[in-house]
Structure 1
Amino acid sequence: MKILYFYPENPLSFSQGNNSRALSLLHYFKNRSIYIDLVGEKSSEFGEDAIDDLKNEGLIKNGYLLKKEKKSSNIIKYYLNYSFPRKINSKFKDFDRTKFGYKEQFAKIVKNTEYDIILISYVYWSSLLDNVTKGSNTKWIVDTHDFLTSQFQTNKKFALDRYFKREINLMKKFDNVWVISNEENYLFSQFINNPVSLITHGLPNNIETSSKTEKTIDVVYVASENFHNIKAANWFFKEVYPLLSPDIKITVVGKIGNHIPKFENVENLILVKDLNEVYKKSKVTICPMLSGTGVKIKVIESLSHGIPVVCNERGVDGLVNKTNNGCLTTNDSFLFSDYISKLLNDAEFYNQNHLEAKRFFEDNFDSKKTYKILDSIFKVN
């Protein structure tokens, strides 16, 4: 079996939770000895050195990076194949992230190798297949990652019916639609006739090894710098942080650190080589999400180490159980700070939530369970 997997960003970068999902899929393919070629989008953080790293770790066979072509390279092709079509379909531009030359480059990669499966990440990259002739034995799969219509609702020209219909129509070109949460599974399956598969974010069980590591970090906060996280960080450091003891050691991981003022007890780590090493040293995780959709990968990562999570209501989106899952949920800043303080100072309370996190993770997100679902899709014995 040969699979071509499109994922735009560097899976080895721990700056965003979605990268963790991509990396976990690559580890599955490696574990099952499945041939994988990866296609990404060239950027300052995703270059040939990252492709070499993925090859050296045995995660991919070949790697390709799509590069935006210059308008001057072919004026006629630019206007006929790229500029004019985008103007005609301008109301749907949010659902197409391809740049000039991407579709042709992708089609060339597909043409050079006979793939059994083409796996595309995110619906707004589905147009990469526009120039691809589908083989009779080839299957197309989309890993949705999220409910995109909700992400666009702040746009000036947003119209729920038009956006949702577009998202569903794009999914219909695929033989299988992957979702990461039960809510999205229910929603999309109402409108799509082809199979919709719930592929949870499976992770290795790190609970035992984490329990043996000295805890030098009281609170860890992992986030990228998207709109939702910036709003969440502003809320936490304005409303919750002043209520906490200045003796609490907080470590912030990810580009969200670029948007946080300097505090004596807050350490900012923009980039880390191994996020698991940070989790192992941490007592409590926070996920102050006020908006956004889909499962929060950082929550599952925390649970995989048996670490209790303090979060807002959006932090438990996509989880099967909203309670008794290792997450303490509130939108009240005072209660949010109280939860953190009690976890750090009440050993019995901490252990209770640690055990709930452990049970919930093992029942729902252990990679062994996710692998079984993927095995059935890829017909792996």
Structure 2
Amino acid sequence: MAKILFFYPNNPLVVNQGNNARAHALLHYFNSRGFTVDFVGIESNEFTDKHREEIQNSELVRDAYLLPKRKNSGLNYLIRTSIVNKINKYPREFQWIYHNQEVYFTKILAKNTYDYVVISYVHAFPLIKNKQALKNAVTIVDTHDFFTSQYGTVDTPHLGNLFTTEMRLLAKFDHIWAISVEEQFVFSQFLPNKSILTIPHGIQDRSQQRLPETSIDLFYVASDNPHNVESAHWFFKEVHPLLPENINITVVGKIQEQIGSYPNVTKIAYAENLDDFYRKSKVTLCPMLSGTGLKIKVVESLAFGIPVVCNERGVDGLSSKVNNGCLVTDDPKEFASYIIQLLDSDEFYNTHKRYAHEFFNATLEASIVFKKLDQFFNPS
């Protein structure tokens, strides 16, 4: 069976945000196929040795390691990190891994022999710079996103350098896993000779877990990244005033800090398990004015058979933009109208609930996604 070294910087056991859920799902896939997996994260105030031990004691991995915190000063940093980045002309947005972390990762490689090294995020390329330490392991980057579009717009002075850097770093991996069809298209246009596979976020169908009676009208979960903050402000300024006052909304995640006080809004800073909220929610909100990549919250909603009301960016990454359980508009009045129709009309609601269920099981259910991974690891 394959031996895999899997790098993901954060704690994959905390599945209350999309990127963690993605890493957690991949670990479950590896485990289901009997692969031997060693996990590597990055030490932080939120990811400590205690958490590393929890991962190591789980059934998902053989060993778990934490790279030390980044060192931002000293002669080693100047020579090994700062000067190297300047020579390579890497923009600061891609200066993510420090020399002391490269050294630690190389020591892990030296102790073991792996068939595959899977690196989450293109920024972490320096971890695989030492080709000798890899011992011919196949390198894979799980991109999670198209980061040039996250970091820059047409008005960004160094936009060209952002894009060029991202393509150059992607090209250094043997294989590229894109989370969305849009990203696969972009990468393939500029890296025509690379192996690029679309691997969406796959989870099991959870529609049977829905409670017969829902107590949450609208469910909204998000972190407080700039894209979410802008979108949340838009929703509560432009859409919320158009909704009937008796509609209740539950907001979970750090985004709640960006939302004012409303009589019909319940704000929860942290929830260890989002499934409890999905089970009792009727409609999911995904206001998203900018950003790229597959929205994990949309996948999770569809897995429960819950219709989603979102902006056009909310359906990024989905293989079909229509009849998929998502009602899409950038117009505040139409956004509010979709919500009201879903809550007031059983026929309208059940139609989009059926679309969600059918689309999810045809494209995003774990067995579908895992089959793609099976074909990658066993092409014969």
Normalized against structure 2, the TM-score is what? 0.94
Q: CA deviation at 1:119?
A: 0.3
Q: CA deviation at 1:158?
A: 3.6
> Structure 2 matches for 1:5-44, cutoff 5 A?
5-44=6-45
**Equivalent residue for 2:313?**
314
Distance in 1 (alpha carbons) for counterparts of 2:54 and 2:324:
36
Q: CA deviation at 1:70?
A: 4.8
Letter in 2 for 1:257: Q
Letter in 2 for 1:39: V
Paired residue total: 378
Distance 1:248 1:64, change over 3 A: same
Q: CA deviation at 1:249?
A: 1.4
Distance in 1 (alpha carbons) for counterparts of 2:200 and 2:177:
9
The alignment status of 1:104 with 2:86, answered yes or no, reads: no
Distance in 2 (alpha carbons) for counterparts of 1:370 and 1:17:
17
Distance in 2 (alpha carbons) for counterparts of 1:300 and 1:287:
11
Unaligned runs of 5+ in 2: none
Distance in 2 (alpha carbons) for counterparts of 1:43 and 1:377:
33
Normalized against structure 1, the TM-score is what? 0.94
Letter in 2 for 1:133: Q
Q: CA deviation at 1:32?
A: 1.3
Say if 2:90 and 2:165, in contact at 8 Å, map to a contact too: no
- Aligned to 1:101, the other structure's residue is in SS state helix
**Equivalent residue for 2:197?**
197
Distance 1:112 1:188, change over 3 A: same
Distance 1:108 1:156, change over 3 A: farther
Q: CA deviation at 1:352?
A: 0.3
Give percent identity, aligned residues only: 46
Distance 1:158 1:203, change over 3 A: farther
Structure 1 residues 301-354: Cα deviation after superposition (integer angstroms, max 9, x where no partner):
100000000000110111111111100001111111111111111111100000
Distance in 1 (alpha carbons) for counterparts of 2:153 and 2:194:
30
Say if 2:113 and 2:135, in contact at 8 Å, map to a contact too: no
Unaligned runs of 5+ in 1: none
- Aligned to 1:307, the other structure's residue is in SS state coil
Distance in 2 (alpha carbons) for counterparts of 1:84 and 1:137:
28
Structure 1 residues 45-89: Cα deviation after superposition (integer angstroms, max 9, x where no partner):
2112222222333112111111235567xx442322123223444
- Aligned to 2:93, the other structure's residue is in SS state helix
Say if 1:231 and 1:290, in contact at 8 Å, map to a contact too: yes
- Aligned to 2:321, the other structure's residue is in SS state coil
Letter in 1 for 2:209: T
Distance 1:19 1:213, change over 3 A: farther
**Bigger CA drift: 156-165 or 298-307?**
156-165
Say if 1:98 and 1:127, in contact at 8 Å, map to a contact too: yes
Say if 2:153 and 2:159, in contact at 8 Å, map to a contact too: no
Distance in 1 (alpha carbons) for counterparts of 2:175 and 2:88:
26
Say if 2:77 and 2:98, in contact at 8 Å, map to a contact too: no
| CA RMSD after TM alignment | 1.9
> Structure 2 matches for 1:110-121, cutoff 5 A?
110-121=109-120
Distance in 1 (alpha carbons) for counterparts of 2:77 and 2:161:
27
- Aligned to 1:164, the other structure's residue is in SS state helix
